[in-house]
């Protein structure tokens, strides 16, 4: 027995709004809107699955617990009179934020492979705004990680400031640092174009960036060549600012902020110019 042909499907729901294009944002309001959109996505993803947040907390906890406590007892590293674990904590906050950001390019390559990046590039979003949005989204992700490390450090007895203004400054510095490192990662992604190559390069540069900074020891104990490396390493400026804000040690806050802001801007420019290569 043959069935009667089904009636063509029609849209029964009210779709009045879908007939009217939205009013375009223009000028300066476009960039913050895109940054908010990208940051909202990161927060939504974290709210659905916090596994990464917990697993990423293990390594900084071990650094503070084992390395920090042991070197506090040894007293081998000059820290200007504060316990070594206190000295180390801002370095580990910067490190854990950097570790998240430096592999952000892998997410971009995954988004390229999944078609998400192409779809975003076909929206009225300039490439620089998309990169800035992604950079700040990495910053938000890193900031949440930084909060976890601050809590671990506080539980381990590190004397941190609870001054809200200084904590706000910490947030700004972590976001700027992560914006730079995520853009560095997206720039490399735009050059190498493959996940495997990016993984290899990411792993190759992460440790030199970390050990070639003042995260574990002060500049004064480094050999001359390493001091030179440290001075061009944005992570050193991030750590210096975090130490100054969280512990009250002497820091060059204006210089640190300026270097990180310029580095982030350069990173956004470089990553934006290479984003098109990923779309091809």
Partner 1 sequence: MTADAVSCTGLDYAFHDTKAVDGLDLTVAEGEVFGLLGPNGAGKTTAIRCITTLLPVPAGMIRVFGRDTAEDAMAVRRLLGYVPQQLSADANLTGRENVTLFARVFDVSRRERAERVAQALAAVDLTDAADRLAGTYSGGMVRRLELAQALVSAPRLLILDEPTIGLDPIARTGVWEHINAVREATGMTVLVTTHYMDEADQYCDRVGLMHRGRVRALGTPEELCRGLAEKRGTDTLPTLEDVFRDVAGSGLEDEGGDFRDVRSTRRTANRVG
Asked if 247 interacts with partner 1 (CB under 8 A), we say no
Q: At closest approach, how far in Å is the CB of 68 from partner 1?
A: 34
Q: At closest approach, how far in Å is the CB of 23 from partner 1?
A: 7
129: tokens are 């705004």
Residues in contact with partner 1, shown as a per-residue x/- string from 75 to 114 under the rule CB under 8 A: --------------------------------------xx
What span, in angstroms and rounded, lies between the C-alpha atoms of 93 and 154? 12
Among the candidate windows 18-26, 141-149, 158-166, 254-262, which touches partner 1 by CB under 8 A?
18-26
Among the candidate windows 70-78, 117-125, 170-178, 265-273, which touches partner 1 by CB under 8 A?
117-125
Given a contact cutoff of 8 angstroms between Cβ atoms, the answer to whether 135 and 179 are in contact is yes
Asked if 5 interacts with partner 1 (CB under 8 A), we say no
Q: At closest approach, how far in Å is the CB of 146 from partner 1?
A: 22
| Residue 33 or 228 having the CB closest to partner 1 | 33
Among the candidate windows 3-11, 91-99, 183-191, 214-222, which touches partner 1 by CB under 8 A?
3-11
Within 13 Å and on the Cβ side, how many CA atoms surround 12?
2
Nearest to 264 by CA among 176, 146, 133, 144: 176
| Residue 16 or 250 having the CB closest to partner 1 | 16
Q: At closest approach, how far in Å is the CB of 24 from partner 1?
A: 5
111: tokens are 């988004």
Asked if 10 interacts with partner 1 (CB under 8 A), we say yes
What span, in angstroms and rounded, lies between the C-alpha atoms of 200 and 208? 13
Asked if 125 interacts with partner 1 (CB under 8 A), we say yes
Q: Write out the binding residues for partner 1, residues 21-80 only, by CB under 8 A.
A: 21-25, 30, 33-34, 36-37, 40-41, 44-45, 48-49
| Residue 2 or 23 having the CB closest to partner 1 | 23
| Residue 20 or 74 having the CB closest to partner 1 | 20
Burial track 40-76 (b if 16+ CB lie within 10 A, e otherwise)? eebeeebeeeeeeeeebbeebbebbeeebeebbeeee
String of DSSP letters for 35-71: HHHHHHHHHHHHHH--HHHHHHHHHHHHIIIIIIHHH
String of DSSP letters for 121-190: HTSS--HHHHHHHHHHHHHHHHHHHHHHHHHHHHHTT------HHHHHHHHHHHHHHHHHHHHHHHHHHH
| Residue 8 or 223 having the CB closest to partner 1 | 8
Q: Tell me, by CB under 8 A, how many residues bind partner 1.
A: 44
Q: At closest approach, how far in Å is the CB of 148 from partner 1?
A: 20
Place of tokens 């820091």: 251
């Amino acid at each position: 027995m043959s069935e009667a042909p089904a009636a063509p499907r029609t849209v029964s729901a009210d779709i009045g709004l879908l007939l009217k294009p939205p009013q375009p944002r223009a000028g300066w309001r476009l960039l913050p809107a895109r940054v908010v959109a990208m940051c909202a996505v990161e927060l939504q993803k974290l709210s659905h699955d916090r596994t990464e947040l917990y697993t990423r907390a293990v390594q900084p906890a071990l650094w503070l617990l084992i390395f920090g406590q042991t070197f506090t007892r040894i007293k081998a590293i000059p820290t200007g009179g504060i316990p070594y674990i206190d000295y180390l904590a801002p370095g580990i906050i910067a490190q854990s934020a950097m570790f998240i950001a430096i592999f952000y390019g892998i997410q971009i390559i995954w988004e390229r492979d999944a078609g998400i990046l192409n779809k975003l590039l076909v929206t009225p979003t300039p490439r620089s705004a998309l990169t800035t949005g992604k950079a700040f989204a990495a910053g938000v992700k890193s900031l949440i990680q930084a909060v976890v490390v601050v809590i671990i450090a506080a539980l381990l007895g590190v004397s941190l400031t609870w001054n809200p203004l200084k904590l706000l400054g910490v947030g700004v510095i972590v976001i700027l640092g992560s914006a730079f490192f995520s853009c560095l990662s997206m720039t490399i992604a735009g050059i190498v174009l493959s996940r495997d190559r990016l993984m290899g390069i990411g792993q190759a540069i992460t440790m030199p960036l970390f050990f070639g900074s003042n995260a574990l020891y002060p500049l004064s104990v480094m050999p001359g060549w390493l001091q030179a490396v440290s001075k061009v390493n944005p992570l050193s400026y991030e750590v210096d600012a975090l130490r100054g804000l969280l512990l009250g040690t002497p820091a060059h806050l204006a210089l640190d902020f300026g270097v990180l802001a310029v580095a982030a801007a350069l990173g956004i420019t470089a990553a934006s110019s290479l984003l098109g290569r990923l779309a091809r």
